[in-house]
Amino acid sequence: MTDLWMQLLLTADATLRISTPLILAALAGLCSERAAVIDIGLEGKMLGGAFTAATVSYLTGSAWLGLVCAILACLLLALLHGFACITHRGNQVVSGMAINIVVAGLAPTLGHAIFHINGDTPPLPQGARFMALTLPGAEALRGVPVLGPIYAELVSGHTLLTYATFALIPCVSFMLYKTRFGLRLRAVGENPEAVDTAGISVAWLRYRAVLIAGALCGVAGASLSTALGASFIRDMTAGKGYLALAAMIFGKWRPGPTVTACLLFAFTDALQARLQGVSLPLVGEIPVQFIIMLPYVMTVILLAGFVGKVTAPKADGIPYVKER
């Protein structure tokens, strides 16, 4: 029973860590689509942020400088997406996919040009990474039944980016539902004509939403390469941007359910890592390829059978043309 309890705690601990970039990317997509700008480019922006953070952190030895540069890089990509979709009213899906494709090729190309090691970055030293933090009293309370292991294993031992991500969830929810900016952001996604009639710039509101999404993607990318990992690896996002979009749709564009979906996807990811090489009763050892499929199969099952009726913001994906 003790071993099972510890396995559950360790799986939950891994779930919180793995969910960090998913939650950040899902909140990014949520902010963007609430303003009616579809952001398929979450994957590309995360990958660009991961590469920038790892490269700058390795060259300067500062994880914080890497994080700032990752955010700046993703802000530039967000501005590019906004310029194509908001200013020039281009197809938002095509623009997002273009960002994904360009970054997927550009990041390893630049990595090879800088480091000459097949498009990856060298392993980061400890000073260039966000290391796990041990909270006060974690070791002292470890021996306390039930609550001690929960605090020591589940609450303590995460990076600063993970703690910041979970602190950000109520902040984003408050911003969307309790502030004037959030009200206008949601209004521009539902009825941009009414917002424009009130004398508020639809384009500027959408640009701000896209920039918020870019900043969050920068933090998500930095968490992949300088917190969860210790270097940049080619295609290290592995579809997490698309999983974040699926979580946002499953959550029906609301922060709470969206985060719940991210935790569910992260749990399946943590579970598949623990099931590799394990012999299960009746079925024996499952081939690793099938186990790796778990998070993606879960995504398909949830979206196909459990999400129910989905109603996106009414103006989602529709460029706004000001009437003259």
Q: What is the mean pLDDT of residues 45-59?
A: 96
Q: How confident is the model at residue 114 (pLDDT cuts 50, 70, 90)?
A: very high
Query: Within 13 Å, how many C-alpha atoms sit on residue 28's CB side?
Result: 37
Mean pLDDT score of the chain: 89
Higher pLDDT, 168 or 119: 168
User: In 3D, which of 154, 106, 127 has the Cα closest to residue 59?
Assistant: 127
The answer to whether position 56 is within a domain reads yes
What's the confidence (pLDDT) of residue 122?
93
pLDDT tens track for 238-286 = 889 999 998 998 888 999 999 999 999 899 888 887 777 666 676 667 7
Is residue 144 predicted with pLDDT exceeding 90? no
User: In 3D, which of 317, 321, 320 has the Cα closest to residue 39?
Assistant: 317
Write down the residue that tokens 């749990």 correspond to: 267
Work out the angle between the directed axes of helices 180-190 and 160-178 (0-180°, nearest 10).
70
Higher pLDDT, 215 or 199: 215
The answer to whether position 174 is within a domain reads yes
The answer to whether position 49 is within a domain reads yes
SS3 307: coil
Estimate to the nearest angstrom the gap between the alpha carbon of 32 and the chain centroid: 13
What's the confidence (pLDDT) of residue 150?
87
Work out the angle between the directed axes of helices 2-34 and 42-60 (0-180°, nearest 10).
110
**Count of Cβ atoms closer than 10 Å to residue 310 Cβ:** 11
The answer to whether position 189 is within a domain reads yes
pLDDT tens track for 17-27 = 999 999 999 99
Q: What is the mean pLDDT of residues 208-215?
A: 96
User: In 3D, which of 58, 177, 71 has the Cα closest to residue 123?
Assistant: 58
The answer to whether position 127 is within a domain reads yes
What's the confidence (pLDDT) of residue 280?
67
Alpha-carbon torsion angle 131, 271, 51, 223, nearest 10: -40
Q: How confident is the model at residue 306 (pLDDT cuts 50, 70, 90)?
A: low
As for how many domains the chain has, the answer is: 1
pLDDT tens track for 55-107 = 999 999 999 999 999 999 999 999 999 999 999 999 999 999 999 999 999 99
User: What is the C-alpha to C-alpha distance for residues 21 and 19, in angstroms, rounded to an integer?
Assistant: 6
Q: Which long-range contacts (CB under 8 A, 24 or more apart) does 112-119 make?
A: 114/55, 118/234, 119/234
Q: What is the mean pLDDT of residues 123-144?
A: 87
Is residue 51 predicted with pLDDT exceeding 50? yes
Q: How confident is the model at residue 130 (pLDDT cuts 50, 70, 90)?
A: very high
Q: How confident is the model at residue 1 (pLDDT cuts 50, 70, 90)?
A: very low
Q: How confident is the model at residue 148 (pLDDT cuts 50, 70, 90)?
A: confident
Length of the chain: 324
The answer to whether position 199 is within a domain reads yes
Weakest-pLDDT range from 29-43, 219-233, 255-269, 304-318? 304-318
The answer to whether position 156 is within a domain reads yes
Report the percent of the chain where pLDDT is more than 70: 94
Domain membership of residue 84 as a residue range: 20-237
The answer to whether position 277 is within a domain reads no
Please say whether the beta carbons of 192 and 320 come within 8 A.
yes
Here the tokens at position 11 are: 């799986």
